[in-house]
Every structure is written in structure tokens, then in C-alpha cells.
Structure 1
């Protein structure tokens, strides 16, 4: 759709005096770090806040001393107990940018709204605005260039692509809409965790006293939480004696360590971990029923202790070797996610089980897993002497489930169904093409399996008449 440009002669004052309505799409200014962009956003909620302490950061997500009371409050009270008059009340607007992940949703001020958007308007490429807030007639949309079909497949494989309701089946779309309605507004703006102050992404079902607050304070060791800064400071200085997660340390390599924590033995800690994780995960549903899960906590080590940076959970005796995975935003893009994925497969290997992550994968989870699967599969296919191999044989070589192999290799048309089984093309020319396409790169952080101090209490091949299989050393030792 062609972007409608505002004429410089159009009076914006008329629109600025209009009342904004929830559920209506508007053109909104957003700062991308370099320029102002004009994007389509739907107004989700309107709230009164107090002007006291408000720092007007027009377009950047900086720290704000905001008080965001619930919509049912008749009075607005400052931190020192003064009741503000009607003149001192200030409105903020919660918006969702169409075509973008909900973690980009934010509270904005009235001046960010440009005009109503026409029905069905979605801007795939944002229009760059002049500093005045009007459209620049000379500005051109940012173009990424035409992609070949092969390049487009690879791009979608390794980049976060938000799925629309039209791309889902009717039942999934219904569930997605219900979930979005329940969690449409973030209830916590920022979380102070250890030495980091993090902008949250999504709604999390913390107790009501923690809703609609500027900051939630969470202890990085025991995960106790409070919305009151003074209580948090007292807890850190005088109450909390922990310097690491509970449970058993099962991996340590240089300044990285991983602990195994039981949902039965450390129920409160695991519940608090799930609540914290939900602030950065859109579709996490496990909050309180943690007794059947094990949690693997990844930490960075220094002299003061083990500092949590991420984790994955795993349901005991499930066919899935991973249920949920989360890396805190300040520690993303360091290879920690793939390190945890490697560990999940190492654990299922030791259980004598070909594991698979719980489905469906989130959009970001799919990107991480596909990258990992390509790395393992390409390395294994380079060792295959023939031009073809069955997906079942490749599964036993790599310890990746057949369904994951098929879904991964279909992107490059490397698998076909023939005589009741899937056949994978492994000729050297095709494998080299995949490597030259910059897929299958090794993770930034490799798991040293010699450092994994863990053995299963029960092997899967000894349950339900299962069949044991060999673990080829050249591949499983990664």
C-alpha cells in the first residue's frame, strides 16, 4: 500500500484537538535511533498519570518517573502523598505497532499521533519523517532490495518474522486473540535485576500489588520481588544470604556455570523464575505448576557470586528435551541461547533419547533452533559418503528428531518423501551451497561435554520397552 504523505499545508491543529479512541489505528511517530518513523499503530488503552516527575522523552525509551495508576482510581497521589488537582493530570496512550512484535508496544504522549490511518493500513517499510513531525516530501522509504526466492527462504529461516492471524488455522488464531486480549497491556514497565535495569517486553501475572508500576525490583539470587525500592535495598543488604541459584551445579567452564534446579525441591524459586521469564516471553503459560519440571539456570560468575542470565525448563519424562527457554535481553546475542540448546540435547543423549523441543516454537525460538539444527545437520551430511541418506538414519547420527530434520531441510528443498520414508539429499555440491549461504555457522559458545557433570537417574531406553541406540562419538561429543 502506498504511504499517504501529509501535505505541508495541511493544518495538524484540527487533528490534535480530536479525542483519540481505543481500537482505532493511527499514524504515530516512532524514533528508531536515527530518524523519526511514521508507523501504523492501534490505540489499546488510555490512562491518566501525574505530571510530577515526568521526563518527556519524546521518542526514546529512557527511564521515566511515571506513576501509572489503574483506570478505576479517582484520585492521583504523588509519592509524598499530595493529591493532584485535575489540571495536573496527564494522559498517556498505550499503542501496538501493526506488523511488529508486541514487545515493541509502548506508552506514548499525545504529540506522537499524526493522523488517523485508513482502514487496513499496514506499513511494511516505515516512512522517515522530518524533524518537524510532518512528512518529508523528499524522503524515500528504506528499501532492502529485491530478494530471490532462495534468499527469501533463507531470510525467513533465520530472522524473526511475526505471524499474522491469516497465516494460522482458525483454532490457533482464536487462542492467539484470546491470549492477546488478556495480556494486551504490559503491567510492569521496567525490572531492576541485579546490576541491570531492563525494559520489559510483555505482561506477566505477578500479584496485583506489582501491577501498573514503573519498576519491579527482583533479587538476582533468590528472585524475591517487590515494587518498593527501600524494601529491595534492605533485602539485598541484610536479608538475602544466597550468592547462587539453589540446586546442583552441573556445568562450569571459565566464567560460565549451569545449575539444575528441581521444581519440587525449590518450588518458590522456580515460580518466581517463571514470572520473571514471562516479562520477556509472549507465550509462556507455566507459572505456578512447576513440580514436574526441572530448570537449568545459566549464570555468569564473578567474585560476588553466580549471576543469572538465562535458563531453560524441561518436563520430566516427557518426549521433549526442552519446554521453555529464555535469555535476559542484556545478555542476548552472546551465544547463550544456543549453549542451552546444546545442553538440552546433551542431556537427552545421555538419557538415550532422541529429544525435540516442545511445539509450537515461538518465532524467536524457531530462529535459534533452525540455526542450531543447520549447524549439526551440515556437519553430519559432510561425513556421509553417499548422495542420499534417510531422515531416520540422519536422526540417529545427529540425535535430532526426524520431524525437525524434515522441517529444516525443506527450506532448501533437500528432502523428499519416497516409498514410505523421507530421503535427504547430501551430495557435496548441495552441502557446499548451504555453507556458502552463511547457514550452519557454529555457535559463539560451544558446550564442552567433558564439563557436564550429570547422569540420568533412569535411562529412557529402559522404560516402556524402549530400544537403546549407539551414540556416535564424533557427533555426540560436540
Structure 2
């Protein structure tokens, strides 16, 4: 249809459903005489963006481009929870709420709608992830020549990540159709700056040990016959059961760090890549068996952070999400902060999935502390301060306060701040903790923090 141009909006039917949702046209192309449109579903995360045909559109309900209001000031990202804070040193008394104290206003209609859209987007997204086990490569190499030599190198703008606001049409569009890593094929969610020659292929192949990218299964098999790694480079600093963590220095292992960031960018939209990995440490979580260590996820952190960030980027790969590994990564980052004797917080802004994971971890950890409190004297109510919670958990004070407010646990009563734990909150916490099967054992961590301010150029 000639009048369907970039910026126009039209209702589009979801790939695995019957519902239509308003979508913005980002780009279009002609394939075998048929026009396809790259669309973004409004009110949904970009991971659901896709190429569609006109047959899935309601062409009689086309809308023009959105009008941009230049007079309204743009609000900053700020903290993920923007409620007012109470004084950090106030003593919080824990009590069982009375019926009058438990009367709180219901969530607003706007809040309910936002949560419904988020959960609906996540539910739809799960059905769109293509995570299919595949057999190990078993294709003979027909030529003894090094098939990797002809591969293009990655662009120089690769490496660690920082927050960004995406305005480039090219980076708004997914450029990799499928990746194959280990025994899985995964459909990426976002753009990542792999070499263009490889993004035009139906599948991008990755070595699951060194994360090198290759153009075919034959190249992958040839590479695996020479790859000396069976685990990430760097030092193994934690092992418990079949889970290991490796610490990788972005300066010493630059190639691996850059490949890791390229992989992560396929599933992280709120960050952009830049070249220098030297100022970062990468902590890679692996599951090991007789074949080697298989990457599950990672987080990175600055060697020196002026704002006490203990995580710069964090990711669990899609094939192992919703199994508790995200919280394990977060718990490990705070375990490192405890060894350092610091409080920490993740770099903002967080992705939607990252925010959900951190909010859940903070809630469980803080409730675990509060519910384990004992009164100092018989007949007294147990008491604790915000600072004490922060010191015990290494969670930054601002995150402790915002979590208590998010859970509606903190209230002002008779001149002091009081924590009220309802039976519903206790039961919900017990249920969520029963599902948390894997935890970090501090005794299995063998790591000493370095003072990077005294190490010159790291």
C-alpha cells in the first residue's frame, strides 16, 4: 500500500494471537515482490518488534505519525521508585498491623493498566523466544584452509556498555535473525553491531567458550577443533555444585570482553556499546559438566565507581530465564560488595526485566532480615534502622527505603516510623522463598578486592 510510510501507525495482529495492537511503522522493504514492514507495537517492549505483511494489518484504520509536543519538558530517568524517602537513621519498629492500619487505598486505574501491559508483554514475549535444543555440530570440514581468516572483524565501537536513548532508525531494528550457541538456537530481541556481512545470514554461530562469532556450522566445527578454552578466561573465584563464577579483566581479556558485550547487546536495549573495556570487570556465571563450562549469564562492574555502582550491566541468557539465575547473579554482586565492605546499587536506568529482578531480590532480602528480628527485651517490639539493614545486606540506603515503600510496609505512627507486616506479606514471602532453590554460599567465594585507584592504568 503506497500510503504506508515510516512513522505511520496501524493496528497489527500479533504473530501468535488474534488480538490487534496499534503499531508504528519503522521501516519497509520489498521481498520477492511483496512489501514487508518493520513495526513497533506501542505500549509494548521493543523485543516484540518484527517484520509483518499487509495481511496482518487493519488497513482501514491507518493513523498518521505522532505529533511531538515540544513544549512539555522531558522528565529525567531518576530512581526506579520515586516515592519520598524517610530519614535513613530513623528506628523502624516492627509490629503486627491493626485493622485500621491495614486499610490502604487500592491501586489506581493507571497503575493497574501499566502492570497489566507489562505482564501481557512479558507473557507474549515468552512464546516468541525461539530456544530450540539442537544436536552437536557433526559436519565434516571439507577444506583444511582456516575458514575463519576471511571473517570480518567487529566494528571498533564494541566493548562495555552505557545508558543511551535510541534515536537511530538502524539501531531500532533487530539485525540478527537467530544465534546458535552451544545446544541452543535463540531469537535475539534487539540490535547488536555485529559485522553486517554476518547479520545478513539466517543464523549467526557463536563458540560458547570464547564467544567468537562465525558464519557457518562448518566454521564453528573447525574453530572448536582449535579453541583451547573450555571455560571463560580469567580466574574462577566461586564454585558451588555445578555453578562457577569467573572474573574477567576487560584490559587483560579484551577480545572475550568485547564478544561478551556484543552477545549481551542482543538482549539489552537500554545500553549502547563503546570500545574501551579496560575500566570494567566481568563476572561470568557458568554451569559445568564433562564437556566444559557453559555460560548462563554475567554482570559487569566498573573498577572504580564514583557513585558506588556494583553492577553496570547484568544479563541472564533467555534459555535459562525464570529459573532463579537472575537473582543468583544479583546476590553474587552484593556478596562481592560485602567483601569490599561497601553498599552498592545497579547502574540506572534498569531494563524492565532487570527492574523486576532487582525489586524482587531487594524485597526478599529485606523481608528475610526483618522477619528474623528478635526483641532486645521481653515484651518489646523488635526494632532496626535503615542504616542497619543497609549494612547487613550491602543494599544502598535509597534502595532499602524505596523497597519498603513499594511494599507498603513503612508508615508514620505516633511520631515514629513503623514497619507493619501483614499475614498476606508473610505468606507471600514464604512462598517466594520456597521457590528460590539456588543461593550463594559465601564460604565458596575465594576472592580479594583490589584497590584500583593505586594501580595506575589498571
Q: Report the TM-score when normalising by structure 2.
A: 0.71
Displacement of 1:231: 2.3
* Residue aligned with 2:255, SS: helix
Q: Indicate the residue corresponding to 1:349 in structure 2.
A: 338
Q: Map 1:68-107 to 2 at 5 A.
A: 88-107=32-51
Displacement of 1:107: 1.3
Contact 1:25 1:42 in 2 (8 A): yes
1:219-265 Cα distance to aligned partner (Å, 9 max, x none): 111111123443233212x3322211111111112221111111011
Q: Indicate the residue corresponding to 2:304 in structure 1.
A: 317
Displacement of 1:366: 1.0
Aligned pair count? 365
1:388–1:254 distance in 2 versus 1, CA, 3 Å: closer
Q: State the structure with bigger RCO (CA 8 A, min sep 6), 1 or 2.
A: 2
Q: Indicate the residue corresponding to 2:95 in structure 1.
A: none
Displacement of 1:155: 9.9
Distance in structure 1 (CA, Å) of the matches to 2:406 and 2:65: 30
* Gapped regions of structure 2 (runs ≥ 5): 67-104, 122-162, 376-380
**Structure 2 residue corresponding to 1:45, chosen from 27, 33, 48:** 27
Q: Indicate the residue corresponding to 1:446 in structure 2.
A: 439
Distance in structure 2 (CA, Å) of the matches to 1:162 and 1:301: 34
Distance in structure 2 (CA, Å) of the matches to 1:439 and 1:404: 22
* Gapped regions of structure 1 (runs ≥ 5): 1-16, 50-87, 123-146, 164-174, 464-478
Contact 1:381 1:426 in 2 (8 A): no
Distance in structure 1 (CA, Å) of the matches to 2:14 and 2:296: 30
Q: Map 1:30-41 to 2 at 5 A.
A: 30-32=14-16, 35-41=17-23
Displacement of 1:36: 2.0
1:183 and 2:182 equivalent?
no
Q: Indicate the residue corresponding to 1:434 in structure 2.
A: 425
Pairwise CA RMSD: 3.4
Distance in structure 1 (CA, Å) of the matches to 2:428 and 2:383: 21
1:211 and 2:204 equivalent?
no
Contact 2:209 2:229 in 1 (8 A): yes
Q: Indicate the residue corresponding to 1:360 in structure 2.
A: 349
1:27 and 2:18 equivalent?
no
Displacement of 1:196: 0.8
Distance in structure 2 (CA, Å) of the matches to 1:96 and 1:154: 23
Displacement of 1:399: 2.0
Contact 1:189 1:215 in 2 (8 A): yes
Distance in structure 1 (CA, Å) of the matches to 2:399 and 2:14: 38
* Residue aligned with 2:172, SS: coil
Displacement of 1:364: 1.3
1:334-391 Cα distance to aligned partner (Å, 9 max, x none): 1111101111011010011111111222221111011111111111112333465432
1:159–1:308 distance in 2 versus 1, CA, 3 Å: farther
1:328 and 2:311 equivalent?
no
Contact 2:410 2:419 in 1 (8 A): no
1:402–1:117 distance in 2 versus 1, CA, 3 Å: farther
Displacement of 1:180: 6.0
Q: Report the TM-score when normalising by structure 1.
A: 0.69
Distance in structure 1 (CA, Å) of the matches to 2:116 and 2:303: 30
Q: Map 1:260-339 to 2 at 5 A.
A: 260-318=247-305, 319-339=308-328
1:370 and 2:359 equivalent?
yes
**Structure 2 residue corresponding to 1:246, chosen from 233, 236, 239:** 233
Q: Map 1:119-268 to 2 at 5 A.
A: 119=63, 148-149=106-107, 160=118, 178-179=166-167, 181=169, 183-236=171-224, 238-268=225-255
Bigger shift: residues 302-311 or 249-258: 249-258
